[in-house]
Amino acid sequence: MTAVVHVTGPPRAGVSSVAACLRDRMPGVTVVDTADPAATRNAPGPDIVVFVVSAVAPVTESDCALAVSACRSTDAVIAVLTKIDDHRDWRGVLATSRQRLASCAARFASVRWVTAAAAPRLGEPAVDDVVAALTAALSDPDLARRNTLRRWEAHLGAALTGMHAADSGHLARVSTLRAHRDTLVRNHLPSGAVSVRHPMQRARLELASAARQRCVTLRTELLGAAAETTMVAEIEERVRRRCGEVIAEVDEQVSLRLQDLASELGASLPEPSAVAEVCFGDPPLRQRRLESRVTTVLGAGFGFGAGLVVARWVTGLAPGLTVAGALVGAAVGLALTLWVVAARALLYRRAVLAQWIGEATGTVRAALDERIASRLLAAEAAVTTARLAQRAGMAERVAECDAQLRGHVLAARRAQALREASEPGLARVLTVVRDGLREPDSTRTLVTDR
Amino acid sequence: MSGTFSSPDRGRHIFADVLARYAAQTCDGRLGAVERRVRAAVRVAVTGRQGVGPSSVAAALSGAGHMITRDVDGADVHVRVIAEALKPEDEWALRDSSVPAVVVLNKADLAGADPGGPLAGAERMAARLAAELGLPVVPMVAPLADVALGDEELAALRVLARCAADMTSTDAFVAAPHDVPGEVRSRLLVTLDRFGLAHAILAVAEGAAAGPVAQRLRELSQVDRVLDRLTAAAAPVRHHRIAAALVELRILAACSGDEQLAAFCCADDTVLAVSAAAVDVVEASGGTVAGGDSPEDHLKRALRWRSYGQGPVSPLHQRCADDIVRGSLRLLDRVR
């Protein structure tokens, strides 16, 4: 079986060039360039890791972390400082890099450092030192044993870390769930009903007051119009139209206020029911025979008297005007009689209209009150139902949270018990493995420690 | 006046000059401190990993008149020096930076084998990094920015031009036998490195004296490009300083009842100077402000920047757009 060498390092350090040179110079060795993802995917585990860094500057913490990760399961590591043909200060870089890598992990203190110029701009590649170091490392009879120990160390370390991670994962999940549960409980609103009722009451008061004001102004407006009119039909039509408009206006106002309330309370409100037609009836302009007769008699009497006075006055102007005086008196008397009768009839109609307007605005107000009350009641019912549903959902969520919490606490206890049971054994084996790695050649059986 | 809309870093100087002229006319001693603050050098923090050359970059920038500091928080612009590759440490430093940053890809002469030469390779890498980071990345060979060659070095270069030395590696150049003493070669290597040496030898072979050789090396160092990027990155700082100075002047005018100073704050020259600083800012971030001196040009520019300022842009760009609109309208008024 051929030895496997992984060549790795930070980007642009010269990994590919070193790998290519090694492939040329060491045909009996499988060289894997880790910069090539396709080659790395199915590559066997390394016997030796060649860690390549550039001489441009000393290694950084991230380079050291990469070295630790790349050499986790392999004991044999050769560090290569490349591009020494380009960088005149490569000796200083080598010293600093050696020191930094050693301080990052104790095992790297004994790593062998060699230099190379794998892709020089002028001349031939210089990788003799790397080849020599690799050859020496591959011929080390202890290589397989140390690599096995290093793999063991990596496995044991991963197992211990995994147990600790599982432990802390469970604990973190438990604390997250607790915080989530606390938030749920805090958001549970015992004063939910009150917090709904108050804005609703406020809205009801505001809307009722606005509707009342609107009805008062409507009544004033219509009475003013009725007091001057002579056309009953026109006024009647106007009253019906204006009342309808006011009902629609107030309904619109209620809708807007309810929308505000909905956004304030965070609930969706039901669509309003259609506005019911308000019936006003007709103005009670009934037949009034007796009153008409009385008015006619009084008007006729007043007209006769006035006509007599006028006739006498005209006759007195000149002696030949007797006939003319009688005619003028009769005409004036008739005109006055007709005017008095007509005026009385108009006043009557106005009085009836005023009364009817009062009744109509009263009907509008009652209709609006009813409308406001019914819509607010529907809104309150919808909000309260939503709140109750929310609370029921919250209780379910809290119960689910509690169940999860119990599960995680149980799992955490199990994981802790497992860790406590197996950790000392694993730690003991790890110590033995590390002792084995420290010793140059050990013949002890590692697992049984005999 | 079209120059107002085309020169980087002109805004600061125009404003400082306008202010100085006004101070000289009115003999107002209070304005000296304000002018000094506007003219003050931009503080540049130069950081980088050990070995990538932050000190040589800092020396080159310092030689160009910048105030260099180590403290990124107290600086106006952050220059992060990298070499060969961008490491996670560099990314962290750039992410934590609270001021405008410029990345200098130093040691561009050692960027690796490339058919177009090392500088072309470095240029490509800089473009890739700039796209990745969203920051300006400029290649540089910092040690070549300010080279002073003595007679002995020049004589050695002439000998090297006549009789080629072993240039296969830095060690070989110093160690291989040659007519030029090893000590001198070592000194030349420290000063110029192999890339600088090759170009200096070529220049000397063509008969160039010490001055032209240094000039050629300075061009190769790309220091002027770095300085241009730095100027562009500092444009918001300068615009901010000018805006602060104007606020200071207005307060001064209001407190002392100085109507002449208040008039200066909204005079044509002042508005145009502020506008020039705003142009620096938008051009530094990749925008273009159209020039032209005809009334149509000024009107078109004003309309264009008015709609730009009303778009989804940062508050700084909104202010700059307002300043450009104001400047353009003043110019329009002037040419009508």
Q: Which domain holds residue A80?
A: 4-140
> Residue A77 domain-assigned?
yes
SS3 category, A392: helix
Asked if residue B325 and residue B241 are part of one domain, the reply reads yes
Q: Is the pTM of this model over 0.80?
A: no
Could you tell me which residues come within 8 angstroms of residue A173 by beta carbon, excluding any fewer than 6 positions away?
A408
User: Quick check: A287 pLDDT over 80?
Assistant: no
DSSP string, A246-266: HHHHHHHHHHHHHHHHHHHHT
Residue % of chain B over a pLDDT of 70: 96
Asked if residue B162 and residue B71 are part of one domain, the reply reads no
Q: What is the pLDDT of residues A91-100, one digit of tens each?
A: 999 999 999 9
State which residue of chain A sits closest to B112, comparing Cα positions. A121
User: Quick check: A271 pLDDT over 70?
Assistant: yes
Q: Alpha-carbon distance B199 to B215, whole Å?
A: 11
DSSP 8-state assignment for residue B96: H
Q: What is the CATH number of the domain that holds A28?
A: 3.40.50.300
Residue keyed to tokens 């090759």: B198
Q: Tell me whether residues A86 and B110 touch, CB distance under 8 A.
A: yes
Neighbour-count burial of B323, counting CB atoms closer than 10 A to its CB (0-12 exposed, 13-18 middle, 19+ buried)? buried
SS3 category, A132: helix
Which token pair is A141? 């009879």
Q: Which residues of B touch A58 (CB under 8 A)?
A: 49-51
Q: What is the pLDDT of residues B112-164, one digit of tens each?
A: 777 778 889 999 999 999 999 989 999 999 999 988 888 888 999 999 998 88
Neighbour-count burial of A186, counting CB atoms closer than 10 A to its CB (0-12 exposed, 13-18 middle, 19+ buried)? exposed
> Residue A295 domain-assigned?
no
Neighbour-count burial of B149, counting CB atoms closer than 10 A to its CB (0-12 exposed, 13-18 middle, 19+ buried)? buried
Asked if residue B242 and residue B326 are part of one domain, the reply reads yes
> Residue A310 domain-assigned?
no
At B54, is the pLDDT very low, low, confident or very high (cuts 50, 70, 90)?
very high
Where is the domain boundary, B233, B268, B300? Answer: B233
> Residue A35 domain-assigned?
yes
Neighbour-count burial of B50, counting CB atoms closer than 10 A to its CB (0-12 exposed, 13-18 middle, 19+ buried)? middle
Q: Which amino acid is at B250?
A: R
Least confident of A184-193, A295-304, A369-378, B221-230: A184-193
Asked if residue B64 and residue B34 are part of one domain, the reply reads no
The angle subtended at Cα A380 by Cα A375 and Cα A384, nearest 5°, is 150
DSSP 8-state assignment for residue B145: G
Q: Which domain holds residue B267?
A: 2-40+234-335
Which token pair is A399? 């119960």
> Residue A312 domain-assigned?
no
| ipTM of the prediction | 0.82
Mean residue pLDDT of chain A comes to: 83
> Residue A369 domain-assigned?
no
Least confident of A170-174, A436-440, B199-203, B220-224: A436-440
Q: Which amino acid is at A59?
A: V
φ and ψ at B48, to 5 degrees?
A: 175, 160
Could you tell me which residues come within 8 angstroms of residue A179 by beta carbon, excluding any fewer than 6 positions away?
none
> Residue A325 domain-assigned?
no
At B222, is the pLDDT very low, low, confident or very high (cuts 50, 70, 90)?
very high
Q: What is the pLDDT of residues B224-268, one digit of tens each?
A: 999 999 988 888 888 999 999 999 999 989 998 888 889 998 898
Q: Alpha-carbon distance A68 to A73, whole Å?
A: 10
What's the confidence (pLDDT) of residue A392? 77
Q: What is the pLDDT of residues A400-421, one digit of tens each?
A: 888 888 888 888 888 888 878 7
Could you tell me which residues come within 8 angstroms of residue B124 by beta carbon, excluding any fewer than 6 positions away?
B114
Asked if residue B226 and residue B106 are part of one domain, the reply reads yes
SS3 category, B71: coil
Asked if residue B159 and residue B12 are part of one domain, the reply reads no
Task: Count the domains in chain A.
Answer: 1
Q: Which of B84, B170, B194 sits opposite A54 (nearest CB)?
A: B84
SS3 category, A12: coil
> Residue A238 domain-assigned?
no
Q: Which of B84, B169, B194 sits opposite A12 (nearest CB)?
A: B84
Q: Which residue has the higher pLDDT, A128 or A420?
A: A128
Task: Count the domains in chain B.
Answer: 3
- Nearest alpha carbon to residue A343 among A303, A304, A305: A303
Asked if residue B155 and residue B106 are part of one domain, the reply reads no
Least confident of A79-83, A190-194, B273-277, B321-325: A190-194
Q: Which amino acid is at B142?
A: A
At A449, is the pLDDT very low, low, confident or very high (cuts 50, 70, 90)?
very low
Could you tell me which residues come within 8 angstroms of residue B183 by beta carbon, excluding any fewer than 6 positions away?
none
What's the confidence (pLDDT) of residue A447? 40
Where is the domain boundary, B173, B192, B220? Answer: B220
Asked if residue B133 and residue B61 are part of one domain, the reply reads yes
Q: Tell me whether residues A57 and B113 touch, CB distance under 8 A.
A: no
Asked if residue B226 and residue B113 are part of one domain, the reply reads yes
| Across A200-229, average pLDDT | 86
Whole-number Cα distances in Å, A322 to A308, A310, A311, B37: 12, 11, 8, 117
Q: Tell me which long-range contacts A301-309 makes (C-beta under 8 A, separation of at least 24).
A: A302/A336, A302/A337, A302/A340, A303/A332, A303/A333, A303/A334, A303/A335, A303/A336, A303/A337, A303/A338, A303/A340, A304/A333, A304/A337, A305/A333, A306/A332, A306/A333, A306/A336, A307/A331, A307/A332, A307/A333, A307/A334, A307/A336, A308/A333
Q: What is the pLDDT of residues B271-320, one digit of tens each?
A: 999 999 999 898 888 888 888 888 889 999 999 999 888 888 888 999 99
Q: Alpha-carbon distance B122 to B111, whole Å?
A: 6
Asked if residue B254 and residue B151 are part of one domain, the reply reads no
Where is the domain boundary, B172, B197, B220? Answer: B220
Which token pair is B209? 């004296």
Q: Which residues of A touch B121 (CB under 8 A)?
A: none
Q: Is B167 on the interface with A (CB under 8 A)?
A: yes
DSSP string, A286-328: ---HHHHHHHHHHHHHHHHHHHHHHHHHHHHH-TT-HHHHHHH
Q: Tell me whether residues B84 and A56 touch, CB distance under 8 A.
A: yes
Q: Tell me whether residues A57 and B89 touch, CB distance under 8 A.
A: no
Q: Tell me whether residues B168 and A122 touch, CB distance under 8 A.
A: yes
Asked if residue B158 and residue B94 are part of one domain, the reply reads no
Strand B137-139 vs strand B101-106: parallel, antiparallel, or unpaired?
parallel
User: Quick check: A50 pLDDT over 90?
Assistant: yes
- Nearest alpha carbon to residue B233 among B44, B39, B65: B44
Q: Is A192 on the interface with B (CB under 8 A)?
A: no
Q: What is the CATH number of the domain that holds B107?
A: 3.40.50.300
